[in-house]
Amino acid sequence: MDGTILIEGSARHVHVTQADLETLFGAGYALTVKRMLSQPGEFLSEEKLRVEGPRGAIDRVSILGPVRKATQAEISMTDARSLGLEAPVRESGDVAGSAPVKLIGPAGELSLPQGAIVAKRHIHLRPSDAQELGVTNRQLVSVKLPGERALTFHEVVVRVHENFMPAMHIDFDEMNAAGLSGETYGTIIR
């Protein structure tokens, strides 16, 4: 590994617990795999929700599977503004004290007291990648992206797990600010 990392843009999405999935889609419901994602085991499901805030709503937001321990909506700051939510920048799963949000499915709806976050940009690495790069789990690094909107993201958190595929995940605001479309690689700067 030479210090370059694949950049992947994450669209807005929802993660759900099995209990919340059943509230939204009906008792005994299971997610249907539409397409496997780059991180092993993770998938885009066929199921979609309406996400509502005090100022607006976004329809047809995808659920990513498998089901998780906490229900959360990962949205961009552009989305947060149009929904009227004060969503904090957080790592996925860190929902304590995040923004309240309403999820509406075909069989029911949920008014979550917390759960809307803006994803903190991060890099997935395997232990061998981390070792080669000289970085450790939870380290903050910078990543430089090329192009006519070239920029360097600071405050990028490294996450290391043996099941990960090496990739950096940013949201669509960040993709657009960097002028990215199609496959792009960044350079990790320690």
Which residues contact its own copies (rule: CB under 8 A)?
76-78, 81, 89, 118, 120-121, 142, 144, 148-155, 172-174, 176-179
Alpha helices by DSSP H, the chain: 18-25, 77-83, 127-133, 172-177
Cis geometry, peptide bond prior to residue 66 (ω within 30 degrees of 0):
yes
Q: Which tokens go with 137?
A: 């789990």
CB 58, min distance to its own copies, A: 12
Of 90 and 124, CB closest to its own copies: 90
CB-based burial label for 142 (10 Å; 0-12, 13-18, 19+): middle
Nearest CA to 12 out of 187, 178, 185, 169 is that of 169
Closest CA to 157 of 175, 170, 138: 138
> Which of 106, 147 has the CB closer to its own copies?
147
- Of 144 and 190, nearer to its own copies (C-beta) is 144
Minimum distance of its own copies from residue 64's CB (angstroms): 21
Q: Which is nearer to its own copies, 31 or 121 (CB)?
A: 121
Least CB distance from residue 14 to its own copies, whole Å?
20
Closest separation between CB of residue 173 and its own copies, Å?
A: 4
114 vs 142, beta carbon nearer its own copies: 142
Q: At closest approach, how far in Å is the CB of 163 from its own copies?
A: 27
Query: Cα separation of 180 and 121, whole Å?
Result: 15
99 alpha carbon, distance to own chain's centre: 16
Residue 21 sits at φ, ψ, to 5 deg, of -60, -40
